[in-house]
Every structure is written in structure tokens, then in C-alpha cells.
A and B are shown apart, each in its own frame.
Chain A
Amino acid sequence: MSNASATVANEFIAFRVGTQEFCVDIMSVREIRGWTPATALPHAPPYLRGVINLRGSVLPIVDLAQRLSFPRTGATQRHVIIVVQVENQLIGLLVDAVSEILSQATDAIKPMPEVATDSVKSFVRGMLAIDDRMIGLIRLDAIMPPNIETAA
């Protein structure tokens, strides 16, 4: 690793959404599991694919591609759900595939360039540059819809 000499190393789980790579802090990941069909929730935004049964609790699934304004994921059994903890809640992120675990110093996270559009900026905290790859660090607390009354 290029940053092996740095004092503080953080681990990230990197995954693929469409053709791009993103990652989340490994400390917030609870488990990784395969896709199972979700039960749609009424009055929910389109990127919220519904809820699934996670060993007895009800887990909402966010289509990360659609959340980042990519086309909707055509989920199959090969797709992956990354279960992450955000504050006291568990949410599932639907992604195409998990690629690897990255070990990087915290100062390796570079701020987002100004050119980025707002929709990506609000969900990506920073960029990790590894060799010739650019990996966006997902801002988990922005993934779920803001908690306002969605009722008509």
C-alpha cells in the first residue's frame, strides 16, 4: 500500500455501483448479504426499494445507484446488500458488487473537487485516490430521506 507509513490507518469496504467505485467506513458495516426481493413501502421515494427481513428485523433497502442519480439497479441474486449502521438504525445499501477492503490513512481522503454536481456532492464525503482509481467515500447519514412527513 502506498500509504503504509501513515500513522492512522482506517479500513474501508469498497464496492462497485455501475462503473464507478465507492466505499464506506468498515466500522459502520454490520454485514454483507445477497439480494432478496424487497417488499415495497407506500409513500416512499423511488430509490427506497422496500424492506427485507434481516433475521427478524425489518431492514429498509436503498438502491445506491438510484440514490446517486444513476439508473435504477436491475437487482439479481448476484447483487449485494451492505448492511450499515447509521446512528441507531440499520439500513441496507444495494450495490452491484463488493470489491475489496482498503486500508488507508485518514489524510488520504481528499476533498471533493469543485466540479462535482450537487447530487453527488451531497452523498460523497471525499475521494480516495489509490493508484489510478478514484473511490468516493459515501456520506452515510445523507443516504436516507430526510425525516419529514411524507404523507400527502
Chain B
Amino acid sequence: MATVDGMAAIRETFFQECAEQLTEVEAGLAAMDEGTADAETINAVFRAVHSIKGGAGAFQLDRLVRFAHAFETALDLLRGGKIALSETLLKTMFHSNDALADLVAASRGGGEVDERRMDALYQKGNETARLLRRLGQLGEMTAHCDASALPPIDKLDPGGAYLSWRIELTCDEGPAAIEEVFDFVVDDCELTIVSRQEDAPRSEDEVRVVSPDSPLAEAPRSDVAANSPEPAPNRSAAIDAARPAAEKPAGDHGKSEPASGATIRVDLDRVDRLINLVGELVINQAMLSQKMMEAGVARTSGIDTVLGALEQLTREIQEGVMATRAQPVKPLFQRMARIVRELAEETKKSVRLRTDGETTEVDRTVIERLADPLTHMIRNAVDHGLETREARLAAGKPEQGEVRLSAAHRSGRIVIEVSDDGGGINRAKVRAKAVEKDLIQADAQLSDGDLDNLLFLPGFSTNSTVSSISGRGVGMDVVKRSVQALGGRISIASRPGLGSTFCMSLPLTLAVLDGMVVSVADETFVVPLTAIVETLRPKKSDVHGLGVESRVIADRGGFAPLIDVGRELGCRADPADPLAGVALVVETEISARCALLVDAIHDQRQVVIKSLEANYRNVPGIAAATILGDGRVALILDVDTIVANCSRGAFASAQVLAAAS
């Protein structure tokens, strides 16, 4: 069993490495696309693909090996300057990388491979005719194809290698020149070069590996012979290329170093454990300081200096440890690059994705959970944001649209922006749609910003035709919810004719959260700051009882349900006096606005999130726990659940009241 487990672990490592290699390839191709590539870039891409092939061979992932090989061969031609970098080639390369990623995913056990696209790619790989043509340039050549190994057509693997070639070449070059022709396939076929006198044994050219259709379709063409330079019969050689050799040894894992230098792989659990301990250290340090102050030993004794240094150190350790969980957003952005390419094809638009700040680092959980909303936004930008080619030209813009994706650190948060240079939000259309969908009153006075924000309402979609890409009416509201679930905020800025920008501001880590420390019936709770829209002190005239249990509070001309947090969580039996407390107006996905009644607000601070489920279980109304400076546990409220629990009664009656007023 141990060996099976060990193998599974190695396999897992291989796939992790594949992911890195694919990133490397994507980066290299992007550099080529931008014209900033040098010889090393192509080498790096080549090595990455080669590593994938090597690893795949060790795990007998034949399809992956075959494809990676074809890709690698093409890259090698490029590397050797044998083919020139053209736009078409680059496009194919990008597709190849996508296909390679699909294959890796399929090999890992998930994802379907788009075979149709693969076929097209196989054709761009090794080509027998090219090899023969190059040989023909060396001297006079006769080539014999041995098709005896061809299986019956029903057993034929279109990508298999069945043909062998015997090539007689008369030239004045040494064997080295001939070897050079086979430079890029030599790893994968058996190549024997012998003098003419010797008998050339049966040979088989591996080139057939990459041919998608009948292997006979690519028989040597007549121009091979015609290209021969003047005969020089003083030397001759028979070249024997045979069936692909076994994969390159797994040891040839020539892993290209990432630009950031040496890295090690660490189990996530260990990192999380370390983060936990450091969090504890920070709390302990705070408690120590507090106790010292209380004991009155500070100031004179120099202890405060030492304590200050300790505080500085703990903070630095915490930042350092947190940083180990941080990863650059680059892989995420590169996934988006692929989505843009595919969408551009689907929508027949010409799109260029520009990325900025790819090295910005953020917690890996944030990255993982950002993928879906970001995909949505990118799709929206290409599908809805950018105009058609014709419309762009008519508006005097370049035919190629541009989508920008940028990441940056700003005041302890990460800001990710998706912008397009399209037509901007059509506010008249948005308004008409919102009225049609009964989301706003026909005569509602709304600012441009308010109109733009209507996009985030559930069930809103302006595109009258529902395309397969976006516009199923589950667009931006889902994005907004996912961003909020991450403790983030999202906003839109749009200028007619110039494009739109979506800006997401997210916490750097999910391990800490900005919270408001409040008290309810002698208990301390933390309310996530992202949920709170405003706080207000209820006045007697604002609060109205509704039935036996529920109350509402006047809020911006309407009524919002007033939720007594203390009663809801069972901290107290009697309803709290709203006039003595503070109302936190929150926005949730269920109801637009809702007021949470608490006794007092104490503080606003960053808290370290601790799981309740680890040793207990999920508690309704509680999102997680945290540890405050005094070492005690405080619970973090799950605003959505609390509102949902109350909404059945109170929210319904508030709506009745609002409708009546």
C-alpha cells in the first residue's frame, strides 16, 4: 500500500509541476506575443513542455506524451530558427498550450479534451515531408517508405507511429549535418546513420506519431527530389529512423527555475499551523503588554522598550508567515488570458488582454475563490463591453479591442481592476431594462452611478439575446456576492464611448477580517465591516412595533426590519430597548437593507479568524470565532444567516408596511 500511496504522491507532485510549467509556457508565449521575447524565452517554453513530456512518460500518460512531443518539436523548430515566428504560429502555440492544459487536466482525472482542436494541432507538429525536404537539400536522395507495419484500418490509431523510412542520401556533408536535420526528433525515434555499403535495416519514422489522418496521406512529395543540390557522390549515407524510443528518462526533469528563484514545496497544513501559532503569539504579546501596564511596571524600568521591540518583532513574524501563504496573481491572470482568447474567437471580436501587476501577491484561498467572479467579469468585458469590429471602426477606434486586467496593493488590500475600451454602459438601456423588470420605478431619479449599480441586481441582464458566453441573467449579482463572501467590495466606473472599469477591493488574506467589535447583553461580538453600510442611533419616532415580535426602523424614506441580535442569538429573553442601543444597517443578498440592533460599538479592528467547526460545529448565525486582545474568544456574526432567520417574519411585514406607505 505504501508504494501505491508513494506513487500517488509523486503523481500529485508531477501535476503540480505541470501547472507551473504551463504557467511558464503561457508567460513565454505572452512575451513572444508582445515582442519582448529573446532566445531564452523560447528555451524556457521548450524546457517547460519538455518537462511535462518527460514526467508524463514516467506515468505512461501516452496521449499527453504524444501531444507534448508534437508541441515540443514545433518549439524546437522555432528555437533553431528553422521556422519563423508568425502571428498564425503564435496563435497555434497558444492553442497548443490550452490543449496541453486540457490534456494535463484530463490526465489528472478531470476535464474533457477537445479532440477536434487536438487534431489541428497534431498536424502542426512533426512533419515527415519537412524532414525529407531538408535532407533533400543536403544531396541527392531516394526515400523508401515501409508501410508493412500498418495495421488494418479498423485497428489504426490515427496518431500512432507505423511507418519507417529508408533514405539514401548522396552528399558531401558529414554525418553531423544529417544528424542536425533530426536534431529535434532524435530523442523520440531510433535514428541510425550508416554508410552506403551497409544494409539498412527496417526502419520506422516516428513522425507519424503526430499525423492525425491516414499515415499515407503525407507521403514524401516530389519536390523533395527536385530540391536536391548538385550531386556529390563522394559520401553517402543511409539514414534509418525507427519507432519512437521509450520516453526520456524521468530524471531528465530539467525543471526551469521560476524567475523568483529557488522555491520549496510545503504542506499547506504546516503553514496554517504556523499561522495559527503566530496569531497566538500576537495575542499573547498583547496580553503581556496589557498586564505589564496594569501592574504599573512600565515606563521607567526600560521594560516598555523591550516590550515595544517584542511587539515589532511579533508583527514582523506575523507578516512574514502570512506572506508564505501569499501567491502572485499571475497564474490566475493567465487563465483569464485563455478565456479572452477563446471568447474572442467565439464572438469574432479582436481582443487583446493587457495585464498589469501580475506579481502582486495575495492569499492563495483568495486567488482560488476569485477565479469564478473574475471569469465572469472578463466574459462580460469581452461579450458586453467591447463592441463588434464594425462598430469599433465606425466609432473611430482601433479594430482590436483591449481588456485590461490589473492588480495592485492599496492600503492593506488588493485591488483588482477589469476594464475595457468598449462602448461603456448604455445607461438608457439599463434604465429601460430595470423598469421592465420592475427593479425600479419608471420615474425614479437615479444618478449615473446608481444606474450602473443596477447591474449588480439579481436577475439583471441587458443583452436581449442570451448568448452562451454571458448574459444568462446570473451575471454581476453572482460576482458581487462572491466578492462580498471574500470580504471584498466591487464598484463600476463607466464612461460612454470609452469603456467601463470594474474595481474589486479584496482583503489580502482570509485569515484576518476587518470587524466592528460590539457588545450585546454582556457578550462581545464582531460584525464583519464589509456587511455594514452605516450605523445609526435609533430615535423614538423611527422605531415602530409590528405585531408581537418584530419591529421596523425608518430608513431613508422606507422601513428596514430591526433585528434584535441579542434575542436572535438567545443572549437575552426580553427585547432590547432600541433607544439605548445602536443600529447597524447591513446589506445582504436577501434583503436590501436591514438593521441589526446591538448595545454598543466598542472598537473597529482586524481580527484573526478562528474556526468553530474544528472542535465544535457550525453554529447558525455565527460565521467563525476570533480571539480578542484580552485572550477571550469573541464570535463573529454571520449577518446573512441572522437576517435570513428573521426575514420570514419581520422582513415580510416591513415590505407590507413599505408598500402601504
Binds B, one of A17-25, A47-55, A74-82: A47-55
Binds A, one of B24-32, B112-120, B276-284, B556-564: B276-284
- Say which residue of A37, A53, A91 sits within 8 Å of B627 (CB atoms): A53
The answer for the CA separation of A149 and B632 in the assembled complex, in Å, is 26
**CB distance B569 to A58 under 8 Å?**
no
The answer for the CA separation of A50 and B619 in the assembled complex, in Å, is 12
Closest to B616 in A: A60
Q: Which of A19-64 contact B (CB under 8 A)?
A: 36-44, 50-53, 55-60
The answer for the CA separation of A50 and B616 in the assembled complex, in Å, is 10
Binds A, one of B34-42, B236-244, B606-614: B606-614
At the interface, yes or no: B633 with Cβ under 8 Å from chain A?
yes
**CB distance B615 to A59 under 8 Å?**
yes
At the interface, yes or no: A117 with Cβ under 8 Å from chain B?
no
Encode A124-152 as 1/0 by CB contact (under 8 A) with B.
00000000000000000000000100111
At the interface, yes or no: B181 with Cβ under 8 Å from chain A?
no
At the interface, yes or no: B570 with Cβ under 8 Å from chain A?
yes
**CB distance B631 to A89 under 8 Å?**
no
At the interface, yes or no: B77 with Cβ under 8 Å from chain A?
no
**CB distance B627 to A41 under 8 Å?**
no
**CB distance B620 to A41 under 8 Å?**
no
Tell me whether A42 and B632 are in contact in the complex, defined as CB-CB below 8 angstroms, given that A56-B279, A59-B615, A89-B614 are known contacts: no
**CB distance A43 to B620 under 8 Å?**
yes
Q: Which residues on B sit within 8 Å (CB–CB) of A53?
A: 283, 627, 631-633
At the interface, yes or no: A9 with Cβ under 8 Å from chain B?
no
- Say which residue of B615, B622, B632 sits within 8 Å of A57 (CB atoms): B615
At the interface, yes or no: B167 with Cβ under 8 Å from chain A?
no
At the interface, yes or no: B103 with Cβ under 8 Å from chain A?
no
Give the size of the chain B interface in residues (CB under 8 angstroms). Answer: 30
Q: Which of B151-195 contact A (CB under 8 A)?
A: none
Closest to A150 in B: B620
**CB distance B633 to A39 under 8 Å?**
yes
At the interface, yes or no: A98 with Cβ under 8 Å from chain B?
no
Give the size of the chain A interface in residues (CB under 8 angstroms). Answer: 26
Q: Which of A78-127 contact B (CB under 8 A)?
A: 89-91
Q: Which residues on B sit within 8 Å (CB–CB) of A37?
A: 632
The answer for the CA separation of A57 and B277 in the assembled complex, in Å, is 9
At the interface, yes or no: B635 with Cβ under 8 Å from chain A?
yes
At the interface, yes or no: B298 with Cβ under 8 Å from chain A?
no
**CB distance B615 to A58 under 8 Å?**
yes
The answer for the CA separation of A33 and B199 in the assembled complex, in Å, is 87
Tell me whether A58 and B620 are in contact in the complex, defined as CB-CB below 8 angstroms, given that A37-B632, A51-B625, A53-B633 are known contacts: no
**CB distance B614 to A57 under 8 Å?**
yes
Encode B266-303 as 1/0 by CB contact (under 8 A) with A.
00000000001101100100000000000000000000
**CB distance B610 to A89 under 8 Å?**
no
**CB distance B614 to A151 under 8 Å?**
no
The answer for the CA separation of A41 and B615 in the assembled complex, in Å, is 13
Q: Which of B276, B523, B568, B632 has the most chain A CB within a 10 Å cutoff?
A: B632
Tell me whether A40 and B571 are in contact in the complex, defined as CB-CB below 8 angstroms, given that A53-B632, A56-B276, A151-B620 are known contacts: yes
**CB distance A90 to B571 under 8 Å?**
no
- Say which residue of B611, B615, B621 sits within 8 Å of A90 (CB atoms): B615
**CB distance A42 to B627 under 8 Å?**
no
Closest to B273 in A: A56
Tell me whether A60 and B615 are in contact in the complex, defined as CB-CB below 8 angstroms, given that A39-B523, A39-B634 are known contacts: yes
Q: Which residues on A sit within 8 Å (CB–CB) of B283?
A: 53, 56
Closest to A91 in B: B615
**CB distance B279 to A39 under 8 Å?**
no
**CB distance B634 to A58 under 8 Å?**
no
Q: Which residues on A sit within 8 Å (CB–CB) of B611?
A: 57-58
- Say which residue of B524, B571, B616, B625 sits within 8 Å of A89 (CB atoms): B616
**CB distance A43 to B617 under 8 Å?**
no
Kindly provide the distance from the CB of B626 to the nearest chain A CB, expressed in whole angstroms.
9
**CB distance A58 to B633 under 8 Å?**
yes
The answer for the CA separation of A126 and B619 in the assembled complex, in Å, is 33
The answer for the CA separation of A110 and B612 in the assembled complex, in Å, is 37
**CB distance A43 to B619 under 8 Å?**
yes
Tell me whether A44 and B619 are in contact in the complex, defined as CB-CB below 8 angstroms, given that A56-B276, A56-B627 are known contacts: yes
Q: Which residues on B sit within 8 Å (CB–CB) of A50?
A: 633
List, sorted by A's number, 9 A–B pairs whose CB atoms are closer than 8 Å: A37-B632, A38-B633, A42-B568, A42-B635, A51-B612, A52-B633, A56-B277, A57-B611, A57-B614
Beyond A55-B277, A58-B615, 14 extra complex contacts between A and B, CB < 8 Å? A36-B631, A37-B632, A39-B523, A41-B622, A42-B571, A52-B632, A53-B627, A55-B280, A56-B276, A58-B610, A58-B625, A89-B614, A90-B615, A150-B619
